Structure 1
Amino acid sequence: MTQTTRPIDPGTGVSAPSGLDRYFRLSERGTSTRTEVLAGFTTFLTMAYIVLVNPAILGQAGMPVAAVAAATCFAAAFGSILMGMVANTPLALAPGMGLNAYFSFTVVQQMGVPWPVALGCVLISGVAFLILTLTGVRQMIVAVIPAHLFAAVAGGIGLFIGFIGLKNAGIIVANPATFVALGDLKAPGAAVALFGLLAIGALSVWNVRGAMLIGIVATTLVGWFAGLVVVSPEPYSLTALTGTAFQLDLAGVFGVGGKHGLGLLEILFVFLFVDLFDNIGTLVAVTKRAGLMDAAGRIPGLNRILMTDAVATIVGALAGTSTVTSYVESAAGVQAGGRTGLTAVVTGVLFLLTMFVAPYAQIVPLAATAPALIIVGGLMLLPITEVAWEDPYSAIPAFLTVAMIPLTFSIANGLAFGITAHAVLKLVRGRITTADWFLLLLAALFVVRFFWMSAAA
């Protein structure tokens, strides 16, 4: 008779683990191949919106939308599969929300940096992240940032993303008297975006998996009927990726320093800093929920996880997209039972398959992706509940960080205000020690930056 089951281990009398089981340690972590596959699908459905949203954001920086869509799929597939195979963690990666907005709206549009040069900055930040991880310097950087600023950065980026979504939808418009005002809600773009907001909101409260992706598709259909979509699809080919792949301008990166003064350092710092701390926060949330964190609160294999993220950012920049980072939506897969890297591998394979339709993402109007930005921005506010708002020592730096990111349209400004305020209050309160030299150095550099910006204004 043909053997259809796994061989029996004579020592234990139970089925011996398969190669897949041994590699991903499925039995050891109390899971199965079926559970991991379902968890991978769940993670994919909760974060697949990035295939539509990322091209919409980076497209406003002048990048070819179809190429960015293909690059987004490729970077997410590469990063997720690498994370699963190397770190054996149910953590999926993709171009990060917030950093793509900073890339498009601040670096390219406000600072006037060409997008190939901005991609070069992403690549260098990925290399720097890898070096910091290998040398252990990242531990020194992490140590000077208090927990309440971790939370504040996440919340501030959430408000930033939500504000961009409201602006793209036409729900909020510029006003010379009040800076911003309510737009014309009867206008086709705003009306379609409100429909999308209602659709995604309703699907979310009904706990429908893939609510954002379904909502974006439904809103796009409504946008077609409203005349918001001009269909001009490019050829159905993966060659769309060549529009951004290897188009980064490393030589131009060093020209940024000469043209914009400290602009290069600011761009690199934000890309590096936000990626580093966004990963730490996501790792803590996902691994804790998955029961992978040890008794001392440490994350097993942290260096492998961070190195994987750095390599994914480098590959993403070469493919033609903004910084690749860990996604908190991975928690949805963990909730569905994912406990190993097989979950991330499945998610990555699904992104790889999505590349075959990625070039058609350009037919999705801003009014359809804006509701997703608004919803994602709102969900990112959860960490600010961790701030001790009753304590001025925590509340003042946290508030400045949260407020200045969206109000100045710059993550860098929010970080600068928050870290500087934290250093000053720590000094005033008499808590500064010799171990805080790096914090004081960062604060001093930010003060110099403020004076430089004032002089250049």
Structure 2
Amino acid sequence: MQAALQRLFHLEERGTNIRTEVIAGLTTFVTVAYILAVNPSVLAQSGMDSGAVFTATAVVTFIGTCLMGLMTNYPFILGPSLGLNAYFAYTVCLSMGYSWQVGLAACFVEGLIFLLLSVTKLRDLVFNAIPQSLKLAITAGIGLFVALIGLKGAGIIVGNDATLVGLFNIHESLADGSFSTAGISVVLALVGVIITGILSSKHVKGDILLGILITWALGIVCQLAGVYVPDPAAGFNSVLPDFSRGLSVPSLAPTFMQLDFSHITDLGFLTVVMAILFASLFDTVGTLVGAASKAGLLDEDGNLAHTKGALVAESLTTMVAAVFGNSPTCVSVECAAGITSGGRTGLTSITVAVMFVLSLLLSPFFLAIPMFATAPALIMVGFSMMGALFGVDFGNVCEGLPAFVCAIAMPFTYSIAEGICLGIIVYVVVNLAAGEERRRTISPMMYALAVLFVLKYLVI
């Protein structure tokens, strides 16, 4: 067995061993396992069955991470993107009005296009066409969007007729009797953010997962003490695990093979596909390069070998995710935890994949975790993505203004797609008017995308 693993993963060549790789895989799993709780709660907002989404999340992450480990021999993992799942649920389904079945079809088409880009030089053409400032802004904007989803889901941010949005009023909740549901949920979510932040500041491994579990535990204590009173009709469910069905694995039937291609000719459908494509491409490539750099896997020119295999694995996994009933996948930034622990090969990935399969038996626990416990995870993920804006030259209006518009448009319009569209339009217009030197920075594809997005606003 050891000799076979040695040959398959080239452990000695990477300066590692089986024990180190397994420990790195376990570390990564502890760090990223929170998606098993967060993803079902987010996608359930679109009308999808949370149990089926939980199973699909574990299965898709297993398949994608195995593909990544075997096709590249890198310690990366593939799982549902916490930015794109929010886009899927809140923009595609709730805002644009598409059913989740149509949303899955869009994810499948995006995966197919991504696959075509991955096996041709078009991937470089598309990726290089977008200026670096907008790539960074897309990452940061998705972070803002994800954080807003967390704040809204926990009830910390509420609608307000006078100012559009506002903070939850605890004083009013005490007066009208809603504190035992909405009020305590907000308090617990805020406590969860503080706890997770403290854990992160102390560099505790698995800080996000631990933050979720501690916040959930506090919720259980509050429910048992009568401080938190479940009200399913109002969206406040019991936080106690339901063992009425034992430790059975939730069925995939409600979401499996439910893709609806009836809107494939709609311009809005195309916009959704393009938004997912750009976000997936930039997020995947950026994470690959960043994580590979941390692992010392880049060559002397700063390039990463087997990039094609990584992108193919990502595209295939997104298509598989759509078939099983899940949002698009990405290379998770949490793989950095395993890399820090010494992970250097695909054996780390395989270890993570196996852990996700085993987690299927723990569905009653993961499905009982409430939104107020997962909200801190979304907020922390958003926080971690905001650092991308530090790479933007805001002293240069031609670079800074489009990046600013792109980033803030995502949370303000509640749409990743709108942020990308507006950012590209502003970039082309501003640089076109700035003189010959700036016009040279605009690629032909940027012109084409700007025209396409302008037409979108005129037609839709």
- The two structures have a TM-score, normalised by structure 2, of 0.90
Structure 1's unaligned 5+ residue stretches are: 1-5, 7-16
Asked if structure 1 preserves the Cα contact closer than 8 Å seen for 2:188 and 2:373, the reply is yes
Counterpart of 2:55, as a letter, is: A
| Separation of aligned partners in 2, 1:299 and 1:358 | 37
Asked if structure 2 preserves the Cα contact closer than 8 Å seen for 1:67 and 1:359, the reply is no
| Separation of aligned partners in 2, 1:317 and 1:373 | 22
- Map of 1:243 onto structure 2: 254
Displaced runs of 4 or more, over 6 A = none
Note closer, same or farther for the CA distance 1:233–1:394 as it changes in structure 2 (3 Å cut).
Answer: farther
- Map of 1:287 onto structure 2: 292
Q: CA deviation at 1:433?
A: 4.7
- Map of 1:439 onto structure 2: 446
Alignment pair present for 1:408 and 2:404: no
Alignment pair present for 1:191 and 2:196: no
Deviation string 1:71-116 (CA, Å, 9 cap, x unpaired) is 1011111111110011111111100011000100011111111111
| Separation of aligned partners in 1, 2:431 and 2:244 | 56
| Separation of aligned partners in 1, 2:287 and 2:331 | 7
Counterpart of 1:310, as a letter, is: S
Alignment pair present for 1:74 and 2:59: yes
Match of 2:329 among 317, 324, 338: 324
- Map of 1:274 onto structure 2: 279
CA RMSD across the alignment? 1.8
- Map of 1:36 onto structure 2: 21
- Map of 2:174 onto structure 1: none
- Map of 2:310 onto structure 1: 305
Note closer, same or farther for the CA distance 1:208–1:433 as it changes in structure 2 (3 Å cut).
Answer: closer
| Separation of aligned partners in 2, 1:184 and 1:300 | 53
Note closer, same or farther for the CA distance 1:234–1:384 as it changes in structure 2 (3 Å cut).
Answer: farther
Matching of residues 42-441 of structure 1 within 5 Å: 42-185=27-170, 187-224=183-220, 225=223, 226-228=228-230, 229-230=237-238, 232=242, 235=245, 236-250=247-261, 252-254=262-264, 257=265, 261-358=266-363, 360-428=365-433, 429-430=435-436, 431-433=438-440, 436-441=443-448
1:325 is paired with a residue of what secondary structure?
strand
Asked if structure 1 preserves the Cα contact closer than 8 Å seen for 2:410 and 2:417, the reply is yes
1:357 is paired with a residue of what secondary structure?
helix
Counterpart of 2:410, as a letter, is: I
Q: CA deviation at 1:249?
A: 2.3
Aligned-residue identity in percent: 40
- The two structures have a TM-score, normalised by structure 1, of 0.91
| Separation of aligned partners in 2, 1:50 and 1:288 | 25
Match of 2:3 among 10, 15, 18: 18
Asked if structure 1 preserves the Cα contact closer than 8 Å seen for 2:134 and 2:403, the reply is yes
1:181 is paired with a residue of what secondary structure?
strand
Asked if structure 2 preserves the Cα contact closer than 8 Å seen for 1:79 and 1:312, the reply is yes
Asked if structure 1 preserves the Cα contact closer than 8 Å seen for 2:9 and 2:347, the reply is yes
| Separation of aligned partners in 1, 2:457 and 2:50 | 35
| Separation of aligned partners in 1, 2:229 and 2:71 | 47
Deviation string 1:248-302 (CA, Å, 9 cap, x unpaired) is 223x343xx4xxx411111111121111111011011101111111111211001
Asked if structure 2 preserves the Cα contact closer than 8 Å seen for 1:66 and 1:359, the reply is no
Q: CA deviation at 1:366?
A: 1.2
Asked if structure 2 preserves the Cα contact closer than 8 Å seen for 1:81 and 1:346, the reply is no
Deviation string 1:22-72 (CA, Å, 9 cap, x unpaired) is 211111111111111111111111111100000010011111111101110
Asked if structure 2 preserves the Cα contact closer than 8 Å seen for 1:71 and 1:321, the reply is yes
| Separation of aligned partners in 2, 1:394 and 1:67 | 43
Asked if structure 2 preserves the Cα contact closer than 8 Å seen for 1:70 and 1:359, the reply is no
Structure 2's unaligned 5+ residue stretches are: 171-178, 231-236
Deviation string 1:308-353 (CA, Å, 9 cap, x unpaired) is 0011111111111100110111111111111111111111111111
Asked if structure 1 preserves the Cα contact closer than 8 Å seen for 2:51 and 2:250, the reply is no
Larger mean CA deviation between 129-138 and 392-401 belongs to 129-138
Asked if structure 2 preserves the Cα contact closer than 8 Å seen for 1:155 and 1:383, the reply is yes
1:242 is paired with a residue of what secondary structure?
coil
- Map of 1:14 onto structure 2: none
- Map of 1:13 onto structure 2: none
